[in-house]
A and B are shown apart, each in its own frame.
Chain A
Amino acid sequence: NAGVTQTPKFRVLKTGQSMTLLCAQDMNHEYMYWYRQDPGMGLRLIHYSVGEGTTAKGEVPDGYNVSRLKKQNFLLGLESAAPSQTSVYFCASSHDGGRTQYFGPGTRLLVL
């Protein structure tokens, strides 16, 4: 039982490049979330999903897209990376609508 895993752990991108961050959970949770964490800002919700095939915008969705084709996976895409997207990205899953969230270890992204 691995819980929530994130791939990759660290990535450096040039401005304008694209990439996809993968989040996988093996707990059969319905809810999944993508956050970004910047110094002094706490965690800010980017997008979330309340079930397979559904996605919804969070607090800071601009510049990101997501997909939830399979219940266990939640993908976060950056179509054209910008330096402002340099951050640590966390994925989380929940069985109770977010009251209890299990977080992955994070992906550190640097956009030059």
Chain B
Amino acid sequence: TQLLEQSPQFLSIQEGENLTVYCNSSSVFSSLQWYRQEPGEGPVLLVTVVTGGEVKKLKRLTFQFGDARKDSSLHITAAQPGDTGLYLCAGRRSGDDKIIFGKGTRLHILP
């Protein structure tokens, strides 16, 4: 059972388009994180959301934590080739020490 479901698995779009990546669960999370990973490197943290309904912005990236703290989304406005990479969501379920990762969304932005 995959506790964090990411969709879509793959996304290839043209430069300048907008896109949204989703991270869903049936469990409540005390926090959710979004990471980006480049080939041959470790993941790098983009953002952490901790409060239900929270919205955080990082330049052209907008992250939202669901009101019930069971889901999150990443929206990219006017995608650029530099946004290409593997996007991973991760989190800790309430009352648990373990960190769970989704399987990732592989994003490819075409110039």
Residues of A within 8 A of B (CB): 4, 33, 35, 40-45, 48, 50, 56, 58-59, 90, 92, 97-106
Contacts and interface: CB of A to CB of B under 8 A. Distances in A.
A45 to B, nearest CB: 6
Interface residues of B, number: 23
B48 A59 contact: no
A42 B99 contact: no
Interface string B1-34: 0000010010000000000000000000001010
Contacts of A101: 33, 43, 45, 90, 99
The listed residue with most A CB atoms (<10 A of its CB), out of B9, B44, B100, B102, is B100
Given A48-B98, A97-B92, A97-B97, A43 B50 contact: no
B7 to A, nearest CB: 13
A62 B100 CA distance: 17
A98 B45 CA distance: 11
Given A40-B103, A43-B88, A100-B48, A58 B98 contact: yes
B104 interface: yes
